Structure 1
Amino acid sequence: MSSSSGFFLICMLHSILALGCGALMMFYANEVAVVGHGAEVATKLRGSTPHDQLLIQTCDSFSGLLLFAIGFLLFMVAFVKDREFQSFFARGCVLLHVSVAVWRIYFERKVEDLAYDLPRQVVGDIALAASWVFFLVYTWREKYD
């Protein structure tokens, strides 16, 4: 079976986003928090004691490392040529992005300092899921035309 150039393109775009965001989270977590949440909220999110600050910084670094690894995985998957795998992978990505959006709506909104950014982040999660849905619709159209 032949592959789709749309899959390669979407994987590469998502990979670049994940690699960039992961690197920023690992090395510039405080600056990213200030840009994303504002200076006042970023100060609150850093923690109040040195122990809390170290735990939060370690958590941010590992989260960034995980995101970087996901970006690298997306880069590798972009070169897979099997259409059945591409469709399976795209459905899994849709499920993952929708799950993250639901998690944000149900749990993250309870954190008062993060609730302000919730709509923007949920729209971002849905937009990432929509890119995979568009790929699935495109391949479905190609398959049945």
Structure 2
Amino acid sequence: MSTSSSSSSSAAFRLICLLHSVVALTSGALMMFYVKEAYAFAHGIETAPKLLGSTPHDQLLIRTSGSFSGLLLFAIGFLLFMISSVKDREFQSLFAGGCTALHVFVALWRFWFERRVEDLAWDWLRQTIGDFLMGFSWVFFLVYSWREKYD
């Protein structure tokens, strides 16, 4: 195997990790600091107030939950940024396979559960397609790296 093929595979891994990192960091920051705007962007202006709760107690719980979810997503983005510099091909393939599985499971969760929530029912298809597209970027890397490995 030549060093140029391993370096191009490594560059593809780095690029995909950085793109996913930017998405996770941005989404996490929006969820932590701009909850209303993030809900309006993700679910629409009509649905956002329904998702933010009707009583002050519900609103506090939902904001707290959203902030922790945003913090978790921000941490995942930071972790992806750090992982993007890993050069080990075996780890890259394992990580890409795990990320693909994670995106598929999230899409399945949206299909089975989120579409049944009345306020989210119209939005699940768009988000499920997004999950599959994010997972497909990892599949693209796996195919690209396998092609290089077996050429």
TM-score (norm 2): 0.93
Q: How does 1:2-17 map to 2 (within 5 A)?
A: 2-3=6-7, 4-17=10-23
Alignment of 1:1-145 (within 5 A): 2-3=6-7, 4-145=10-151
> How far apart in 2 are the matches of 1:76 and 1:88?
16
Q: 2:42 and 2:106 mapped to 1: Cα distance? A: 18
Structure 2: how far apart are the matches of 1:131 and 1:36?
21
The whole-number CA distance in structure 2 between the counterparts of 1:69 and 1:80 is 18
Structure 1 consecutive aligned stretches of length 4 or more whose deviation exceeds 4 Å? none
> What stretches of structure 2 of length at least 5 have no aligned partner?
none
- Counterparts of 1:35 and 1:91 in 2: how far apart (Å)? 30
- 1:24-79 deviation digits (Å, cap 9, x = unpaired): 00000101111222222111111111000000000000000000000000000000
Cα distance in 2, alignment partners of residues 10 and 34 from structure 1 = 27
Distance 1:115 1:60 in 2: 20
RMSD: 1.1
- Which AA in structure 1 matches 2:12? G
